Amino acid sequence: MSDRALTIEQVGPLPIPLEPRAGSPKVVLVVPAHNEEEVLALAFAEISKVMDSLGVDWSIIFVNDGSRDSTLRVLEELYRGDDRVSYISLSRNFGHQSALAAGLDNAVGDVVITLDADLQHPPEVIPTLLEAWRQGYDIVHTRKVETAELGGLRRFLTRVAYGAIGATANVEFIAQASDFRLLDARAQQAIRELPERGRLYRGLSRWVGFRQAVVPFQAGRRAAGSPSYGFRQLASLFGRAFFDFSNVPLRAALVLGTVAILLCMAYLVFVLVAWIAGKAIPPGYVSLIFAFAFLSSVNLTMIGVLGVYIARIHEEVRARPTYLVAQSRVRGS
């Protein structure tokens, strides 16, 4: 991470004034892990070093998200070696957001901090997150200023995707945001009580409101192993953000339908004027093919958009749980 001093930037208007907090909070860290056997011990050592220097009561909950390697064995060793360590092992790989949900559902403290296990979320940022909490902020996001391992194509696609989401979503997303954030206990409880099962915490944490801030940071390289978050996962993430927090695709059907009607009416007026003026009307094969192809494309696109929303409704109505636990070693539960 860069040696540049971290800043705390307010996000949006404050619903109530900031009220400084005193005392030492109980901090719970939630760390999802998927195939992270090579980095877990190092990550815990780095987190421990930072947390111990803060002089706060802290604990950590790892969430094993259906790992295929020896992640579970490493977590058991950490659990037996330090009474501040707990872990939850899910019954299969449910995805990063579901793993976060499992951790947040079991975290009990004044402050909850979520971060990844690969050390691309530097533990050195945690003191600044807690400083923002002490200033009175309830939710403190982080924004990646730069990611060392990110290629040019992915940087471009990420900027485009966030731009599209920002222009259409009914919630103000933080560009280049990550799931490295601090939640006050009240904000954590508000998010937990939301009824939806398909969760995107980058959007939900903005939707609940409260007093929010963001801390820009420079993400480093993975400490070990290979990333499992590829273009497919990125597309899924932004697809959920686009459809879960925006009705613009549905409104687009009305706009395109209106445009198609106006074009058809304009062509009809052209034909009538030509007929009244005694002009020969040119054969309409090209126009007919164009109109058919255009209207068919509009219909297929809108059917696809409706299908996405219906699939979202189907997921919520059938009410399957967000995750299933195979083994829980959460201390005090």
Per-residue model confidence (pLDDT) at position 195 = 85
- Is residue 230 predicted with pLDDT exceeding 60? no
Q: Are residues 235 and 274 in the same domain?
A: no
Q: Are residues 129 and 254 in the same domain?
A: no
Smallest Cα–Cα separation from 325: which of 108, 114, 105? 105
Locus of tokens 């904000």: 187
Cβ–Cβ under 8 Å, residues 29 and 60: yes
Q: Are residues 240 and 252 in the same domain?
A: no
- Is residue 64 predicted with pLDDT exceeding 80? yes
Per-residue model confidence (pLDDT) at position 223 = 58
> What average pLDDT does this structure show over 69-93?
94
Cβ–Cβ under 8 Å, residues 125 and 142: yes
Which of 213-227, 248-262, 317-331 tops mean pLDDT? Answer: 317-331
Domain with 240, as residue range(s), is: 9-245
Instruction: Give ∠ CA 114-118-119 in degrees, rounded to 5.
Output: 75
> What average pLDDT does this structure show over 283-307?
69
Q: Are residues 187 and 267 in the same domain?
A: no
Q: Are residues 83 and 193 in the same domain?
A: yes
| Domain termination site, one of 196, 213, 245 | 245
- Is residue 226 predicted with pLDDT exceeding 50? yes
Q: Are residues 178 and 301 in the same domain?
A: no
Q: Are residues 175 and 294 in the same domain?
A: no
Give the rounded percent of residues in the chain with a pLDDT score beyond 70: 75
Predicted confidence (pLDDT) per residue in 26-63, tens digit = 999 999 999 999 899 999 999 999 999 998 999 999 99
Residues facing residue 142 across a β-bridge: 215
* Whether this model's pTM surpasses 0.75: yes
Residues facing residue 28 across a β-bridge: 59, 112
Cβ–Cβ under 8 Å, residues 214 and 267: no
User: What does the alpha-carbon distance between residue 127 and residue 131 come to, in Å, rounded to a whole number?
Assistant: 6
Q: Are residues 208 and 185 in the same domain?
A: yes
Q: Are residues 137 and 35 in the same domain?
A: yes
Per-residue model confidence (pLDDT) at position 3 = 47
Q: Are residues 178 and 229 in the same domain?
A: yes
Q: Are residues 168 and 306 in the same domain?
A: no
Smallest Cα–Cα separation from 95: which of 269, 193, 294, 240? 240
Q: Are residues 155 and 299 in the same domain?
A: no
Map residue 325 onto helix, strand or coil. strand
Token pair, residue 326, equals 């195979």
Predicted confidence (pLDDT) per residue in 126-174, tens digit = 999 999 999 999 999 998 886 655 556 666 766 666 666 666 666 777 7
Query: What are the phi and psi torsion angles at 139 (to 5°)?
Result: -130, 125
